[in-house]
Amino acid sequence: MDLLLVVNAGSSSLKFCVYSIAEAPTPALVSRGQVDGIGTHPRLRARDDGGATLADQTFGPTEIADVAAAMGRVGAWLREKYAGSNLVAVGHRVAHGGPRYSAPVIVDATVLAALERFVPLAPLHQPHHLRPMRSLAERYPGVVQVACFDTAFHRGHPEVADRYALPDDLYKEGVRRYGFHGLSYEYIARRLPSVAPEIARGAVVVCHLGSGSSMCAIKAGRSVDSTMGFTALDGLPMGTRCGQLDPGVVLYLLTEKGYSATDVEHLLYHRAGLRGLSGITNDVRDLLASGDAHARLALDYFVYRVAREIGSLAAAMNGIDALVFTAGIGENSPEIRARVCARSRWLGLEMDEAANRAGGPCISIPRSAVSVWVIPTDEEGMIAEHTLEAWRTHEGRRSHAHDGVPEPAA
């Protein structure tokens, strides 16, 4: 069996998916898992595509002290579990492709060096996304690795949507609006023809609402604009990130409050958003269950900003045909969906309350001028598709380069 691995690394966790590939156009999920608690209470868990447990192991902190060690442990599990199979490629989620990368790319030393330069643009994500690449390149130098970018889907924006009102030399250096969650939006765009063919070529606002939240205007399957910009701080308030902010606030913190650049970064990435507004938590489920006034404020602010951006993105497309909710909050919170839709009735949007409680996929009534949908996203599946395409192009459908899941380099 030919296998493809997808890796999505964080600061203390490593998520992975294993896919079987053949001559079929898309990869088939075989199993998914993660190593969490890296460096503290490491635990490896994996399930097959039906949800049955394949692995549940705990380790001492020093056994899996970092992402490289976690990647090594996952590799060992793969070799044992899928002995006799061929690991042909590994796909990686990468937060930022900068101005250079507008499509998935096969990773080599030059690509890695280029991606390192974008770390300041996505400091919460980029360093962690790159570590497994380096680890795999050292341990399994023959395996093809493919970087898939969260920014790539947005690279076709018109220049007026990507520009800031700053001097041209900064734009040429790469100071521009990139947009993120592109792998999620691309997956939704590819799913629309089968889930909702009547809107697939129309003007659609997709709300990717989760711990990290953004929204995207998609017209005829292509990204027109997004709420996120130069970094993943922009746009909507998120779990711990501020969202849109007057840059004068940053200047005030630096000049009047004595904040260092590191202090500002920590505030905007870790102490802001729903956590900052509520003073309690960044978990929407807990905020919904709370009777605290600050919890209500945080949710009111979140809903207000989502509804406001629906109008902004509709304007960017000269109208709107449909609204799509996806990601953790978007897929799983009927109350948040209902509150956003209630604020968006001016668009002619009418929700079906029973369908909303049931989770859709269509949650608007038939006469609604704007249809509303709940469509689960699958960023790992999108990465797998891109990785398979890149690998097939690279190999030219020749015989596979590996016999079995490879042993690490000596």
168 is catalytic: no
Residue 374 CB neighbours (<10 A): 21
Structure tokens at 157: 């924006």
Tell me the three-class secondary structure of the chain, residue by residue.
CEEEEEEEECCCEEEEEEEEECCCCCCEEEEEEEEECCCCCCEEEEEECCCCEEEEEECCCCCCCCHHHHHHHHHHHHHHHCCCCEEEEEEEEECCCCCCCCCCEECCHHHHHHHHCCHHHCCCCHHHHHHHHHHHHHHCCCCEEEEEECCHHHCCCCHHHHCCCCCHHHHHHCCCCCCCCHHHHHHHHHHHHHHCCCCCCCEEEEEECCCCCEEEEEECCEEEEECCCCCCCCCCCCCCCCCCCCHHHHHHHHHCCCCCHHHHHHHHHHCCHHHHHHCCCCCHHHHHHCCCHHHHHHHHHHHHHHHHHHHHHHHHCCCCCEEEEEHHHHHHCHHHHHHHHHHCHHHCCCECHHHHHHCCCECECCCCCCEEEECCCCHHHHHHHHHHHHHHHHHCCCCCCCCCCCCCCC
Which is the catalytic residue, given 150, 225, 234, 321?
A: 150
* Burial class for 102, CB neighbours closer than 10 Å (0-12, 13-18, 19+): middle
Burial 125-150 (b: 16+ CB within 10 A, else e): bbebbbbbbbbbbebbeebbbbbbbb
Q: Residue 99 class from Cβ within 10 Å (0-12 exposed, 13-18 middle, 19+ buried)?
A: middle
For tokens 């909702």, name the residue.
Answer: 196
Name the residues annotated as catalytic: 150
